[in-house]
Amino acid sequence: MKRIAILGSTGSIGTQALEVIAANPDSFELEVITAYSNTDLLIEQALLFKPNVVVIAREDLYPIVRDALQNEDIKVYAGANALCSVVEMGTVDMVLTAMVGYAGLQPTIRAIQAGKEIALANKETLVVAGQLITELAREKGVNIYPVDSEHSAIFQCLTGEFHNPIEKIILTASGGPFRGRTIEELQYVTKVQALKHPNWDMGAKITIDSASLMNKGLEVIEAKWLFGLSNDQIDVVVHPQSIIHSLVQFQDGSIKAQLGLPDMKLPIQYAMGYPNRLKSDYPRFNFLDYPQLTFEQPDLKTFRNLQLAFDAMAQGGNMPCILNAANEIAVGAFLRDEVGFLEMSDLIESCMAKVTYIAHPSLSDYVETDRETRLLATDFVKNKTV
């Protein structure tokens, strides 16, 4: 029986993780759920699953959650610090980091310091501070299990192969809703168009990242740290059907792939249940329904965010942290119609050129870099010449 804390239980990954827990009551027990602001869903989840602890990150919403759960044997806390404290509780075995963005960094560090297993969905944490996080995990003997479907695919291909060096990995990308478009065509695309992903139903931020290919860029950096790879060991190929979730090539030239219908519940339950494959009744993939699986080169000139992510990884230090913070501000601004689709790349490039570069950042350097980048990026949005 594994006791699970879900950070971000009201999101796309969080709600699917709850489905996995509900379907496997002999394997998992829900100990903690947390959310940022969706009190209605958080309360509903608490009444249904009866975890021991509930955290609402926005402190002003605390009375709503407390009052709704006052007749239950459930502790209710509020605030960002509470997120960091609850992951340290003795009753938690594994923390699923399903919150979005930089806000996941501190609780993930605290969970690793407390020796908790991590099921990592929050890729931004590894993008911002991959070296620090993986070194800390090694020092504490903590395993980080990937939830991201591509990284789960690679992890599944590596099972039984941990003694065999990787030659390279190939991350597959769907290409998103704008695959094949030209720069001219991308100039006036709207958030409504960008929010329609062809294969996956996800939170707003990652859906915009998928449309701009920044998601693949973040995943390249995530893979570097998860699997200890050098930059030239990571390739990206566009595979619009999203059936092959990623591939590993070994030193004998053999390539292993993991396949399946796009459904995040599988990688979530693989991360939570490892090393066991839990029985599921999700729809099965049938080759005859997909007579053609196709592959293309990503268009790095049109989808500049992917190139910027490769550049940030090559420069190292705090550059991926700058990339991430600038992107979070860019996506927020795009979702509020304050910048256009292509302007997101202009904003990120400008921040990468201007924010103070630090070759060997400490945790406090990352915090300062994130702050400095957000200020600059916010300025960019306010003062941009349209």
Residues that bind Mg ion (CB under 5 A): 148-150
Site string for ligand NAD, 7-46 (x = CB under 6 A): -xxxxxxx--------------------xx-x--------
The answer to the question of residue 109 lying near ligand NAD (CB under 6 A) is: no
CA separation (Å) from 98 to 213, 228, 294, 296? Answer: 20, 23, 31, 30
For Mg ion, the closer CB: 134 or 152: 152
Considering only CA atoms, which of 82, 78, 108, 105 is closest in space to residue 95? 108
Residue 152 main-chain phi, psi, to 5 deg: -65, -40
- CB within 8 Å of 260: residues ≥ 6 apart: 243, 245, 266, 285
SS3 (DSSP) at 266: helix
For Mg ion, the closer CB: 150 or 370: 150
Site string for ligand NAD, 246-285 (x = CB under 6 A): ------------------x---------------------
The answer to the question of residue 98 lying near ligand NAD (CB under 6 A) is: yes
Among Mg ion, ligand NAD, none, the one that 200 touches (CB under a kind-dependent 5 to 8 A) is ligand NAD
The annotation status of 71 as a binding-site residue, yes or no, is no
Provide the residue count of the chain.
386
Among ligand NAD, Mg ion, none, the one that 343 touches (CB under a kind-dependent 5 to 8 A) is none
The answer to the question of residue 103 lying near ligand NAD (CB under 6 A) is: yes
Is 99 within 8 Å of 34 (Cβ atoms)? yes
For ligand NAD, the closer CB: 61 or 358: 61
Residue 324 main-chain phi, psi, to 5 deg: -65, -45
DSSP 8-class letter at 296: B
Task: With CB under 6 A as the rule, give the number of residues binding ligand NAD.
Answer: 26
Among ligand NAD, Mg ion, none, the one that 35 touches (CB under a kind-dependent 5 to 8 A) is ligand NAD
For ligand NAD, the closer CB: 126 or 347: 126
For ligand NAD, the closer CB: 13 or 325: 13
How is 316-368 classified by DSSP, letter by letter? -TTHHHHHHHHHHHHHHHHHTTSS-TTHHHHHHHHHHHHSPP-SS--HHHHHH
Considering only CA atoms, which of 11, 242, 282, 273 is closest in space to residue 145? 273
The answer to the question of residue 99 lying near ligand NAD (CB under 6 A) is: yes
Token pair for 258: 């993991």
Neighbours of 290 (CB within 10 A): 13
Place of tokens 């990308």: 173
The annotation status of 11 as a binding-site residue, yes or no, is yes
Among Mg ion, ligand NAD, none, the one that 123 touches (CB under a kind-dependent 5 to 8 A) is ligand NAD
* Smallest separation (angstroms) from Mg ion to the CB of 306: 13
Residue 296 main-chain phi, psi, to 5 deg: -140, 160
- CB within 8 Å of 168: residues ≥ 6 apart: 229, 232, 233, 234, 235, 248, 249
Among Mg ion, ligand NAD, none, the one that 13 touches (CB under a kind-dependent 5 to 8 A) is ligand NAD
* Smallest separation (angstroms) from Mg ion to the CB of 216: 8
Considering only CA atoms, which of 335, 104, 320 is closest in space to residue 209? 335
For ligand NAD, the closer CB: 280 or 350: 280
The annotation status of 219 as a binding-site residue, yes or no, is yes
Evaluate the omega torsion of the peptide bond into residue 275 and state whether it is cis, within 30 degrees of 0: yes
* Smallest separation (angstroms) from Mg ion to the CB of 147: 9
Touching ligand NAD, residues 120-159 (CB under 6 A) = 121-124, 148
Is 241 within 8 Å of 294 (Cβ atoms)? yes
The annotation status of 174 as a binding-site residue, yes or no, is yes
SS3 (DSSP) at 246: strand
**Annotated binding-site positions for 1-deoxy-D-xylulose 5-phosphate:** 123, 149-150, 174, 197, 210, 215-216, 219
**Annotated binding-site positions for NADPH:** 10-13, 38, 122, 124, 203
Interface residues with ligand NAD (CB under 6 A) are 8-14, 35-36, 38, 57, 98-100, 103, 121-124, 148, 200, 202-203, 205-206, 264
